[in-house]
Amino acid sequence: MSEIIEPRVLKGFRDYLPQDETARRALMEVLEKVFRSFGFVPIDTPALEYAEVLLGKGGGETDKQVYRFQDKGGRDVALRFDLTVPFARFMAEHVDELYLPFRRYHMAKVWRGENTQRGRYREFMQCDFDIVGTDSASADTDIILLIADAMAALDIGGFTVRVNHRGIFNRFLEGSGLREKSAAVLRLVDKLEKIGPGEVKRLLSAEIGEGVASKVLEFVTKEADFESTLAKIEAYAGGPADDTLRLREIWRNASEAGFPGKLELDPSITRGLDYYTGVVFETSLDAMPEIGSVCSGGRYDELASLYTTKRLPGVGSSIGLDRLLAALDALDKIKRRSGYTQVLVLAIEDGLSPSYHRIARALRAGGIAAEVFPEKRKLAQQFAYAEKKGISLAVILGADEASSGTAQLRNLATRQSVIVNLPSGDASLLVARAGELLAPPLP
């Protein structure tokens, strides 16, 4: 016998056991249903691409975290580190085979060699959705409505989508003579939630002087409602323009559609990335504000300028699946299950195995998930298996039942059994009875 290799995964990587994988899938299935109901379609792209395509010709901060290597053909390749860059490449390559405006969603793994000491994983699932090929308030609204309907579908309690517009902030900074300092100002404003207004003001004052710092803090402070906040920042930014009109349209669309949550205008939101040029937004859960945004995004002018001269404006968002899953878990809103089986057919007599399989197949044909315990073992062991797998009912068919043409259906929680007839081995009465026992009680 050769030496045993230690079974282990790389640091920052993890296995998904059934309890985790079923929960993750339950979340993804809800989201996918919402995406499809809004007309979004799925696409997929390769995990591995030319490094040049993913990283551009320059190379920058991102590069350090990327899994990059030479393949056996000597090509410089890399694992995708997000879904945005491959989507940009995808749109540039396939725009003539598609139709615009194009609404896509993509849920897939990405890889980053992050520092795992910060609790980060090196392999994780991203979930992106975008509408590309239009620069309209209607598309902005759709993304925000989709986020809200997804949160509602997840039954996660109250939530707030906070929006802002980069253009208004830029106009305000310019009007206040802060154009040169805008990077520093945005960086500090971004810390508002984390370090509080007092500290932000102190740091801002050191950067741009106390008077202007006060003005910045007034600008980024929310008023009582969306419309009064909008009126204030419009005034600070020098009056109405396309950007304020855009926010007004989004507000009107979303509120008339019946936005199922709170929609706030929060002038402090900037979403650091240079990439965004229009509306930006974040989503927080009322029950767990401390975990930060579970769904963020914004509008961009040029999705794919690295790969095409064709202008592809769009609006999109990304759901933090891991963060959202952790929240659903903490709020006890997601079912961790070790299996989907509803009925376990026990193995009592080897000679009755054909009957067990016939019964299980009849149950499945009746829409009930059923499995046969695959070998004769002590009943206590088979019940323990059923319990670990969260199975509700057991079919007991031993020599006695076989000779009387019956089977027992046992409720594994109450341990109560009912006897059902199997006339000439026909399982239809058993299937009907199992269906009744599995049906949720009437309210």
CA–CA separation, 278 and 115 (whole Å): 32
Shortest reach from residue 185's CB to a copy of itself, in Å: 27
Residue closer to a copy of itself (CB basis): 15 or 61: 15
DSSP code per residue over 166-234: HHHHHHHHHHTT-GGGHHHHHHHHTTHHHHHHHHHHHHHHHHH-HHHHHHHHHHHS--SSHHHHHHHHH
Beta bridge partners of 105: 42, 129
Q: Which of residues 88-107 bind a copy of itself (CB under 8 A)?
A: 89-90, 92-94, 97-99, 101, 103-104
* String marking each residue 202-231 x if it binds a copy of itself according to CB under 8 A: ------------------------------
Shortest reach from residue 289's CB to a copy of itself, in Å: 26
Residue closer to a copy of itself (CB basis): 135 or 223: 135
Shortest reach from residue 188's CB to a copy of itself, in Å: 30
Residue closer to a copy of itself (CB basis): 327 or 368: 368
Question: Helix, strand, or coil here: 149?
Answer: helix
Q: Which of residues 310-369 bind a copy of itself (CB under 8 A)?
A: 338-341, 344, 347, 353-358, 360-361, 364, 368-369
- Verify binding: residue 191, a copy of itself, rule CB under 8 A: no
**Quick one: tokens of 134?**
């239009």
Name 262's Cβ contacts closer than 8 Å, sequence gap at least 6. 158, 159, 160, 161
Residue closer to a copy of itself (CB basis): 16 or 179: 16
Tell me if 270 sits within 8 A of 165, measured CB to CB: no
Residue closer to a copy of itself (CB basis): 82 or 207: 82
Residue listed under structure tokens 């802002």: 164
Sign of CA dihedral 106, 109, 110, 115: positive
Query: Using CB under 8 A, which of 30, 67, 175, 222 touches a copy of itself?
Result: 67
- Verify binding: residue 136, a copy of itself, rule CB under 8 A: yes
Residue closer to a copy of itself (CB basis): 47 or 184: 47
Residue type, 144: I
Query: Using CB under 8 A, which of 31, 83, 131, 185 touches a copy of itself?
Result: 131
Residue closer to a copy of itself (CB basis): 232 or 389: 389
CA–CA separation, 164 and 40 (whole Å): 24
407, containing H or E segment: strand 406-411
Tell me if 12 sits within 8 A of 122, measured CB to CB: yes
Residue listed under structure tokens 């059902």: 420
**Quick one: tokens of 221?**
């402070």
Which of the ranges 6-14, 192-200, 209-217, 288-296 carries the binding residues for a copy of itself, by CB under 8 A?
A: 6-14
Q: Which of residues 7-46 bind a copy of itself (CB under 8 A)?
A: 7-11, 13-18, 21-22, 24-25, 36-39, 41-46
CA–CA separation, 373 and 355 (whole Å): 12
* String marking each residue 377-396 x if it binds a copy of itself according to CB under 8 A: -------xx--xx-------
Beta bridge partners of 162: 264, 282
**Quick one: tokens of 197?**
């207004």
Q: What is the largest CA-CA distance in the chain?
A: 93
Shortest reach from residue 217's CB to a copy of itself, in Å: 33
CA–CA separation, 153 and 31 (whole Å): 8
- Verify binding: residue 423, a copy of itself, rule CB under 8 A: no
Which of the ranges 140-148, 202-210, 239-247, 324-332 carries the binding residues for a copy of itself, by CB under 8 A?
A: 140-148
Residue closer to a copy of itself (CB basis): 331 or 379: 379
What backbone torsions phi and psi does residue 313 show, to the nearest 5 degrees? -75, 155
E strands of 117-226, at which residues?
123-132, 159-165
Query: Using CB under 8 A, which of 56, 157, 175, 197 touches a copy of itself?
Result: 56
- Verify binding: residue 262, a copy of itself, rule CB under 8 A: no
Tell me if 419 sits within 8 A of 403, measured CB to CB: no
Residue closer to a copy of itself (CB basis): 197 or 260: 260
**Quick one: tokens of 140?**
């902005």
- Verify binding: residue 370, a copy of itself, rule CB under 8 A: yes
**Quick one: tokens of 377?**
């073992």
Query: Using CB under 8 A, which of 74, 119, 198, 374 touches a copy of itself?
Result: 374
Query: Using CB under 8 A, which of 61, 194, 224, 256 touches a copy of itself?
Result: 256
Size of the site for a copy of itself (CB under 8 A): 116
Shortest reach from residue 275's CB to a copy of itself, in Å: 15
Tell me if 296 sits within 8 A of 281, measured CB to CB: yes
